[in-house]
Structures are given as C-alpha cells and as structure tokens.
Amino acid sequence: MTQTVRLTPPLAREDVIRLNIGDKVVLSGVIYTARDAAHKRLYDLIRKGEKLPIALEGQVIYYVGPSPALPGRAIGAAGPTTSYRMDPYAPTLIANGLKAMIGKGKRSKEVIEAMKEHSAVYLAAVGGAGALMSQSILEADIVAYPELGPEAVWRFVVKDFPAIVVNDVRGNDLYMEGVKQYQRT
C-alpha cells in the first residue's frame, strides 16, 4: 500500500527509512540542484578532503538544469534530467550524507548499494513536465559554480514539490517491480 509522505529537508535517517517504492513524496523547504559537471566537482573536493560549497548531510539533490526565469517566476522550466550520468559520483555523495536524489531513469547497482548502506532514497520526478514542476519552486539562487550556467549548483526553496520513490533504503526498485508485475510467464 503506497502512502503520501510530506518531508522537509534536511532529511534524517528516520525520514527515509519509512519510505517504500511507489510512495508519493511531497517536499517543502530547501533542496539543491546539481548535474554531471557539478557532481564531478563535488566528488573531486571530497576525494581531496576539501570543503564543499554545500553541506551534504541530510540534503536532497535534484538533477536539473533549469531554464531562465520567466517574468514574475523564480525559475523557468525545471524538469528532471537522466540520473545515470551522476552514477559515478553518487555513491561518494551518499556516503557523505546525501539522503535523497531526484531525477528520471534507472540507477546503477553501485548507487543502489550505497543507498542501502547509508540509508538514502532515489525519487523520480515527471519527465517532460518542467513547466509544471517549476510551479513548486518559490526561490532559486545559484550557490556554487555559476560558470556552469544552468548546470550550476542552485538552492531551490520548494513548496509541495512532487516525486515518487523509485529506490528505497532496502534496495527495492519500482521500475523492476513494474516490469515483474506486467511480465507474462
């Protein structure tokens, strides 16, 4: 039985361990964005033992490169990007406190194992609905790597930002369960 869970980052271990695949999550508060280039920079800083531009502990990172703001809006379209491009870096970020990632598409075995080991979850946002998703973003400011443009690290203040749990802390995978459910044997 799926549930709808309202969460306010930063997230605690208790917040994510109660989530199951298929649960609807509604986020309100601060989340961060980062795509491939920003992930590589964060990963490199961690490997060098240097200070990160954001604290990862309990945070949520949305895989998005938002378009420019429309008049009277915090941001333009803000739909999710394909998550597997962050997979080489995600286990290290998870080990350093990241509790949730939002994107689209499947994750690698290594990312799923890191989520199990460190109690983190992967959430899916609706691809192709960037204009709709942006309506939940009240504030948007670049906090690191402005030279990356839309791929910079942004700080979003969100209200009622919708997502679905795809991978939970037990290693369950909504995509795999969906395939199993509809396979003919």
Domains and CATH numbers, the chain: 29-122+143-156 (3.20.130.10)
Q: What pLDDT, on a 0 to 100 scale, did the predictor assign at position 106?
A: 96
Q: Contact, 47 vs 136, CB < 8 A?
A: no
Q: What pLDDT, on a 0 to 100 scale, did the predictor assign at position 179?
A: 66
Among residues 10, 19, 21, 39, which one is catalytic?
Answer: 39
Q: What pLDDT, on a 0 to 100 scale, did the predictor assign at position 130?
A: 83
| Whole-prediction pTM | 0.94
Spatial distance between the Cα atoms of 21 and 3, rounded to a whole number of angstroms: 10
> Would you give the distance in Å from CA 92 to the centre of its chain?
15
Tens of pLDDT along the chain (185 residues) come to 789 999 999 999 999 999 999 999 999 999 999 999 999 999 999 999 999 999 999 999 999 999 988 888 999 999 999 999 999 999 999 999 999 999 999 999 999 999 999 999 999 998 777 888 899 999 999 999 999 998 999 999 999 999 999 999 999 999 888 766 666 55
Tell me which residue of 78, 173, 43 sits closest to 121, measured CA to CA. 173
Cβ neighbourhood burial of 63 (10 Å; 0-12, 13-18, 19+): buried
* Phi, psi of 133, deg, nearest 5: -60, -35
Q: Contact, 157 vs 15, CB < 8 A?
A: no
Q: What pLDDT, on a 0 to 100 scale, did the predictor assign at position 132?
A: 83
Tell me which residue of 124, 66, 114, 64 sits closest to 89, measured CA to CA. 114
Spatial distance between the Cα atoms of 24 and 110, rounded to a whole number of angstroms: 24
Structure tokens at 32: 């961060």
Spatial distance between the Cα atoms of 43 and 50, rounded to a whole number of angstroms: 10
118 given a catalytic annotation: no
What are the residues whose beta carbons fall under 8 Å from the beta carbon of 118, sequence distance 6 or more?
A: 94, 95
Tell me which residue of 79, 90, 84 sits closest to 120, measured CA to CA. 90
SS3 content of the chain, % helix, strand, coil (to 5): 30, 30, 40
